[in-house]
């Protein structure tokens, strides 16, 4: 049995993983899909003090209090920033690290540092006009090419996200290099996407790389295919230990 910790992206919550979670559980695995502070069912905790550090600690504390080890840690989109911070601090707890159409900032970078200036300015303006200058409204599901059947549901479920999460820099020690299995999965079914740069970075670092024909929310558009890849990643990681 493997243990998966699946971390959602901005504006989403643990709910986004329910299809993949149920499929992994059907294979007998333990699956955690934490909702980060301030969004989803924890949106009542939204405040201007929440930042990337808050969310990194959310996941580290889950691992600590659930007494988890040898986990498959997976981050989607903004969740890539979160799992990078987690992996840098507790690499000994991680058997495999997976990025799904996710940001992979370098040390000293924020998520905003990796975006084109136009996209960054759009988020800042949206926060100013809609979110009192410190919270950002969800990007429409159509922009991410979420499948038509799920778009209204995703719009209904998504919540405001703290701007500070995108502006805080990550300061890394390099401990992530101690993790023997790292995979990057790119979704190539939507455009324009900021994520091919991270796919290229992963290839340069000799991580395993995969491409799925999907919109950005792969766990909704291709849950069976993503589950299959997560199972294979766990099996490969187990075989190297």
Supply φ then ψ for residue 31, to 5 degrees. Answer: -135, 130
Residue 74: DSSP 8-state = E
SS3 annotation, 214-225: CCCCHHHHCHHH
* Rg of the chain, C-alpha, whole Å: 17
- In this predicted structure, the answer to whether residue 2 has a pLDDT above a threshold of 60 is yes
**What pLDDT score was predicted for residue 57?**
98
SS3 26: helix
Task: Please name the residue that has the structure tokens 């924020």.
Answer: 110
pLDDT-derived band at 238, boundaries 50, 70, 90:
confident
**What pLDDT score was predicted for residue 240?**
56
What number is the average pLDDT over the span 50-62?
98
Q: Which residues constitute the domain of residue 206?
A: 3-239
Strands 208-212 and 182-187: parallel
Comparing CA positions, the residue from 157, 127, 14 lying closest to residue 79 is 14
Judge whether 231 and 92 are in contact, CB under 8 Å. no
**What pLDDT score was predicted for residue 61?**
98
Which tokens is 157 given? Answer: 């479920």
Strands 161-162 and 135-136: antiparallel
**What pLDDT score was predicted for residue 157?**
98
What number is the average pLDDT over the span 205-209?
97
Average pLDDT taken over every residue of the chain? 97
Bridge partner list, 228:
none
Distance CA 125, CA 62 (A): 34
Bridge partner list, 76:
100
Residues annotated catalytic, as ranges: 77
What number is the average pLDDT over the span 80-101?
98
SS3 99: strand
Distance CA 152, CA 107 (A): 37
Q: How many domains does the structure of the chain reveal?
A: 1
SS3 76: strand
**What pLDDT score was predicted for residue 193?**
97
What number is the average pLDDT over the span 213-217?
98
Instruction: Give 121-176 pLDDT, tens digit per residue.
Output: 999 999 999 999 999 999 999 999 999 999 999 999 999 999 999 999 999 999 99
- In this predicted structure, the answer to whether residue 78 has a pLDDT above a threshold of 80 is yes
Bridge partner list, 71:
3, 94
pTM, 2 dp: 0.97
Residue 112's CATH number: 3.40.50.1820
**What pLDDT score was predicted for residue 241?**
53
Residue 91: DSSP 8-state = G
Distance CA 102, CA 76 (A): 5
Among residues of the chain, what percentage have pLDDT more than 70?
Answer: 99
């Amino acid at each position: 049995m493997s243990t998966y910790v699946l971390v959602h992206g901005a504006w989403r919550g643990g709910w986004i993983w329910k299809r993949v979670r149920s499929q992994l559980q059907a294979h007998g695995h333990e699956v955690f899909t934490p909702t980060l502070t301030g969004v989803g069912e924890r949106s009542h905790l939204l405040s201007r003090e929440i930042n990337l550090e808050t969310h990194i600690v959310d996941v580290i504390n889950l691992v600590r209090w659930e007494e988890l080890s040898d986990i498959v840690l997976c981050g989607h989109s903004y969740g890539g920033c979160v799992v990078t911070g987690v992996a840098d601090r507790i690499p000994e707890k991680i058997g495999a690290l997976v990025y799904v159409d996710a940001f992979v900032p370098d040390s000293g970078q924020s998520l905003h540092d990796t975006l084109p200036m136009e996209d960054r300015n759009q988020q800042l303006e949206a926060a100013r006009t809609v979110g009192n200058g410190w919270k950002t409204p969800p990007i429409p599901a159509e922009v991410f090419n979420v499948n038509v059947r799920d778009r209204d549901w995703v719009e209904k479920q998504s919540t405001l996200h703290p701007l500070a999460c995108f502006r805080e820099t990550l300061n890394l020690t390099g401990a992530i290099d101690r993790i023997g299995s790292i995979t990057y999965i790119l979704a190539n079914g939507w455009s324009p996407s900021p994520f091919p740069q991270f796919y290229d970075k992963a290839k340069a670092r000799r991580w395993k790389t995969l491409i799925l024909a999907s919109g950005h929310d792969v766990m909704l558009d291709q849950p069976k295919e993503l589950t299959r890849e997560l199972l294979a990643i766990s099996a490969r990681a187990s075989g190297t230990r």
